Amino acid sequence: MLTHLQIRNFALVQQIELELKPGMTVLTGETGAGKSILLDALGLTLGNRADTGLIRHGANRAEITIEFELSDRPEVWEWLEAHDLDDETACQIRRIISADGRSRGYINGRTAPLQLLRELGEMLVDIHGQHEHQSLLRRDMQRQLLDDYAGHGKLLTELAALHHNWRTRQDKLQQLQQANEDRDSRLGLLSYQVQELEALGLTTGELAELEQEHQRLANANRLLDECQQALDMLYENDELSASSLLGQASQRLESLQQVDSTLQTAVELLSSAVIQVEEAASELRHYLADIELNPERLGWVEERLATIYELARKHHVEAEQLAGLLPGLQQQLQQLEQADIHLIELQKAIDTAVDEYTVLAGKLTSSRRKAAKELGKAVTGNMQLLGMEGGRFEIRLVPQDSDGLSPLGRERIEFQVSTNPGQPLKLLSKVASGGELARISLAIQVITAQNASIPTLVFDEVDVGIGGSVAEIVGRQLRKLGNYCQVLCVTHQPQVAALAHHHLQVSKKTDNGQTHTLIQALDIEQRIHELARMVGGIEMTPQTLSHAREMIERGQET
């Protein structure tokens, strides 16, 4: 709810600071005192267009700040968090209008465009009697009011889930149908690519083996020649081979070992070296026995490697990745070959989703129709009490024109009203009289108040053109509404003012040739005098004061 309002240099206001409370609060004052200034300032912070003519004469800028307490408004917190504008437990909105024509908006101290101020304002305040922030004129709010009244929250959640299921499958169907348009050409290309790779038959690791084999075959002459020379140097040259020389050295040291035993380590190392040389020679003999000059094999390996690299280039992959490409292409080919089957299965799933949606949407329509009749009857009854005898209110369910499904059901909701006997029903948005529109809004709000999603309701002179018992009924309705949400009401009627929980008086004062608008909260005695003024005019008689006291006492018992 709205807890704090500060206005500086706005219209006739130099500075006003108000603490606002729950329940019903009325604003009263003599004609021309500036009762509309508070509502104008409130509308400005909620995103209304700025006008430099609203800046107080002689000031450089006007500034309005409002604060809300949001402890029971999780949906507003979610909105603030989604826009990175959350701040502890309160919400502050500030609007500044400069004399140079610039206008700036702030939410919790952070700059915010007017669109965000409007979005946030529509969740926090509803001003009735003017078309700004008049949520009841919006079809989405009319639909929400009816659904909240009927308790359709769970049903709408289930319907939205079915709609999402249908939408997801519908999108998938469109993708498959789009892919199916070039299916034949794509199918031919994939078939050729798969056949080509299957014919190649490349296995994991084969490329590395082929490259190694190619190296060996291409260098076979060099390998044979140099390995044979190494074998000669190691073993097969009887006089100068490493094996022969190591053997001679070993024999000499073995004979000397008898003279000096410390040579034993050297003798052992030489013996080991002789053995290793013999083993190396044996390995070279086996290698030379296996290696061969094979031009045919070399040609085959080179041709296969060329094929592998050519296919890798065609598929725009590295040669090492070619072996892993085939399974993915085979899967794509299979999907294309079975596309017709997938389309049929998907269409069946979509038909099932539509059937499930239709059943649930039909249930919602039936419930809406019943709730619309009940709510229309209740609002019509309230209209009779609010000075619109013979008026009618109906809620019409209009089927959606589109063939597609909607997450909110298969119809739009229209509020229709006739304010006078014999007059045809018209859309609520076409009602011309602001006073009548405000009272119709009041009639609706009183009934739906327990399900209200907006915490602060403002009624601007809903008692225009009424008086007596009707005005008292309006006051009782507003007071009843104040039990569920915060109500601010500008009124000229003492019968309405007497029923308020709180009373603010708007007045004008002139100092040194400057006129100021003031707003003050009234205590019980001040309320009695203000009510007496509203009842009897300037002259305060004991009778008018007594009558005013009685009206307030009776109103507080309501």
pLDDT at residue 538, as a whole number: 66
pLDDT at residue 527, as a whole number: 93
Domain end, chosen from 337, 372, 406, is at 337
Specify if 239 maps to a domain: yes
**Cα 95 to Cα 436: distance, rounded to the nearest angstrom:** 31
The DSSP-derived string for 243-296 is HHHHHHHHHHHHHHHTT-GGGHHHHHHHHHHHHHHHHHHHHHHHHHHH----HH
Domain end, chosen from 285, 308, 337, is at 337
pLDDT at residue 248, as a whole number: 78
* Residues 192 and 329 placed together within one structural domain of the fold: yes
Q: Point out the residues of the chain with pLDDT beneath 70.
A: 33, 88-89, 129-135, 179-185, 238-239, 337-340, 402-403, 432-435, 449-452, 462-466, 537-538, 558
* Residues 125 and 207 placed together within one structural domain of the fold: no
* Residues 120 and 249 placed together within one structural domain of the fold: no
Specify if 112 maps to a domain: yes
Specify if 326 maps to a domain: yes
* Residues 191 and 97 placed together within one structural domain of the fold: no
**Cα 470 to Cα 450: distance, rounded to the nearest angstrom:** 23
182-218: per-residue pLDDT in tens?
A: 666 677 778 888 888 888 888 888 888 888 878 877 7
Q: Which amino acid is at 72?
A: D
Domain end, chosen from 314, 337, 360, is at 337
Strand, coil or helix: 523: coil
* Residues 123 and 267 placed together within one structural domain of the fold: no
pLDDT at residue 333, as a whole number: 76
Specify if 528 maps to a domain: no
pLDDT at residue 503, as a whole number: 95
* Residues 233 and 321 placed together within one structural domain of the fold: yes
* Residues 113 and 206 placed together within one structural domain of the fold: no
Q: Residue 85 belongs to a domain with what CATH number?
A: 3.40.50.300
Specify if 376 maps to a domain: no
Specify if 411 maps to a domain: no
* Residues 330 and 189 placed together within one structural domain of the fold: yes
| Longest CA–CA separation in the chain, Å | 150
Domain that holds residue 42: 1-20+30-129+501-517
Specify if 423 maps to a domain: no
Helix, strand, coil share of the chain (percent; to 5): 60, 15, 25
What HEC string does 206-254 produce? HHHHHHHHHHHHHCHHHHHHHHHHHHHHHHHCCCCCHHHHHHHHHHHHH
Number of domains within the chain = 2
* Residues 188 and 117 placed together within one structural domain of the fold: no
Q: Is 468 left (phi over 0), alpha (psi -120 to 50) or beta?
A: left
Angle of helix 153-181 relative to helix 183-200, nearest 10 degrees, comes to 70
* Residues 121 and 190 placed together within one structural domain of the fold: no
Query: How much is the pTM?
Result: 0.61
Partners of residue 26 on adjacent β-strands = 489, 503
* Residues 93 and 237 placed together within one structural domain of the fold: no
pLDDT at residue 181, as a whole number: 61
Specify if 451 maps to a domain: no
pLDDT at residue 2, as a whole number: 92
pLDDT at residue 132, as a whole number: 42
* Residues 242 and 122 placed together within one structural domain of the fold: no
The dihedral of CA 221, 224, 226, 228: what is its sign? negative
